[in-house]
Amino acid sequence: MARKTVMRWRLYASYFFDYAIIVVLIVASGVIGLLEPHYSAFSLEDKSLQYPLLEQTVTSGTLAAVALIAPAAIMAAWTLLLDKYLYPNVPAQRRLWELNCALLGLGLSIMLTLLITSSIKNIVGRPRPDAIARCMPRAGATDPPFMLSTVADVCTNPDKAVVMEGWRSFPSGHSSTAFAGLAYLAFFLGGRVRVLDNRGEVWKAALTLAPLLLAVVIACTRIMDKWHHGTDVLAGSLLGLATAWVAYRQYYPSLADVDKAGRAWDLRSWGSVRADYVPSSAASSMLGYDQLDEEAQVEGSYAGSRRRTPGLLDGAE
């Protein structure tokens, strides 16, 4: 009993570092955001930099609600409420564990994306499409012969924060963050409904792709508002998508592994899923879980997913 207790607390403690890393990512990205970016030289005659400074269609607050709060709420509702119906035999502790993994992955996806995005923005220092409007060049300013202008030479805007933000175009932070949160949600939903189960059910694909469509819309507004160039948005979107996939795979099996039905790995078991998700008869029919082989249903397992780490979860619960 004492040994199980020690193992349980060691396992819990191992996840402290997951949360600690997310906190470190938050602090680091915040600090980097306060640093002055590299100011790339530019031409006052460059038409692509002469757009007016416009209001944002999707503000930072809206982005946080859509890419972070909404996915967290959806995953919480799925794991705590819908799973209670789909898998009536699963204890509450296990559903809480699933939520823990879902939120850890979401936090890792978004915070890692923010850190990478902020770092690249400051290093590259690419001017936004509205950079000249932010710069407020002095009257009569022109480019030096056979050279480009610099912020220090021609800009007169007293609001340094506005000028700094004008040279943080690449990659798009809204695009990367939108995909980091919403692509992660898409992977979560795709795993839960077994989108790659070869049953050809369109509703599963639609449910999985819906968050990605929303991310695309958010990314497109950055071009519409003239806050980013097209390449900024493309790079940011790919960055967020890649980070979401990496974060998802830290806690979940591949979407192609439909037997595991999108369930999180067990407590630091690195590759096993606990065999206790037995769906109700109604849920089996709705989601296609009636395809589980007879032996797996008797054992209370997903088909083909019977590996577990003996005693660890029993002691943890």
- 167-213: per-residue pLDDT in tens? 999 999 999 999 999 999 999 999 999 999 988 889 999 999 999 99
Give all strands (DSSP E) within 64-201, no chain letters: none
How much is the pTM?
A: 0.84
Short-list 112, 223, 242, 211, CA closest to 172 = 223
Given the residues 228, 229, 263, 274, the one annotated as active site: 228
Which amino acid is residue 161, in one-letter code? Answer: A
How many domains is the chain partitioned into structurally? 1
Segments forming the whole domain that contains residue 135: 2-316
Residue 152 scores a pLDDT above 90: yes
Q: What does the alpha-carbon distance between residue 177 and residue 241 come to, in Å, rounded to a whole number? A: 9
Residue 180: both structure tokens together: 């980091």
Given the residues 174, 192, 204, 222, the one annotated as active site: 174
Asked which of 43-52, 156-165, 168-177, 284-293 is least confident by mean pLDDT, the reply is 284-293
Asked which of 18-32, 182-196, 260-274 is least confident by mean pLDDT, the reply is 260-274
DSSP helix/strand/coil, 149: strand
Residue 12 scores a pLDDT above 80: no
Long-range contacts of 200-207 (CB under 8 A, 24+ apart): 201/288
Percentage of residues of the chain with pLDDT beyond 70: 80
Report CA torsion sign: 105, 107, 113, 116: negative
Residue 185: both structure tokens together: 């949600």
Residue 229 bears catalytic tag: no
Residue 228 bears catalytic tag: yes
Short-list 315, 224, 305, 248, CA closest to 272 = 305
DSSP helix/strand/coil, 179: helix
